[in-house]
Amino acid sequence: MAGTSSNGRKVREGKKETIKGRLSAECDSPLNLLPLDLWVRIASMVAAGRIQDLFNMQATCTVFLDAARSPVVYKVTSMSVYPIASYFYFVDRPDKRFLYRCADTGNLVAMFRSAMMDFFWIGRNVSGMDGLNEAATAGDVEAMYMCSMLLMCHGNEDDHPVCRGHELYETVGAYGAVESCRELFQRVFTQPWLEVKPFFPGYPVIC
């Protein structure tokens, strides 16, 4: 019994030494010599350029992982690889959660995409319209255009929503973006995703 107990202690001590060695190696890493806010700035530049590079950065080490998870990084992350509307957003997938996380930090493009998903795919009219209006108010031109189209269909010309729609449309025009927005949404609304039914029939598809 004594021999077994001694061997058990040696195994446990060996594991402790291994864990201690790993922690020591991580703490002694040259990457830890730089402050986290500097790594956050680096991660922000990476995220603004190409999102796949950000994911690769996260997988490198814990220092990069912590930096890449900063709200500052999510706010500037490029959304160019994500479609404006996709039925893949309907289910609880990692890309959907990532999109919402970026939107929650004030990432305008992510706010616009998440609102489009809510309004047109999932059928959450109120939250979707609120999201579009929030993105438009924050300065996203594509959200302004979509809001203007929806609001101008609201009712009488004197109604407040219709007036708001005209104001947004004029703002888009002032940016010289009416034609580009029109072409963009023509492409969006002729995509195959409109013909794909959701996995849960209880949720309505608006368009």
What percent helix, strand, coil does the chain show, rounded to 5?
70, 0, 30
Domain ranges of the chain: 32-78, 79-194
Burial class for 173, CB neighbours closer than 10 Å (0-12, 13-18, 19+): middle
Tell me: the pLDDT tens digits for 171-205? 999 999 999 999 988 888 876 654 444 444 444 44
Phi then psi for residue 190, to 5 deg, are -110, 10
- The pLDDT tens digits for 8-19 are 555 455 544 444
The amino acid at residue 7 is N
The stretch 67-91 carries a mean pLDDT of 81
**Mean pLDDT score, 149-158:** 79
**In the chain, which ranges are continuous DSSP H helix?**
2-27, 36-49, 51-58, 62-68, 71-76, 94-104, 108-116, 125-138, 141-152, 160-174, 178-188
pTM of the full structure: 0.71
pLDDT of residue 154: 73
Tens of pLDDT, residues 87-123: 555 566 777 888 889 999 999 999 999 898 888 776 6
pLDDT for position 87? 58
Distance CA 101, CA 99 (A): 5
Q: What percent of the chain has pLDDT over 90?
A: 36
- The token pair at 198 is 């959701």
pLDDT at 204: 43
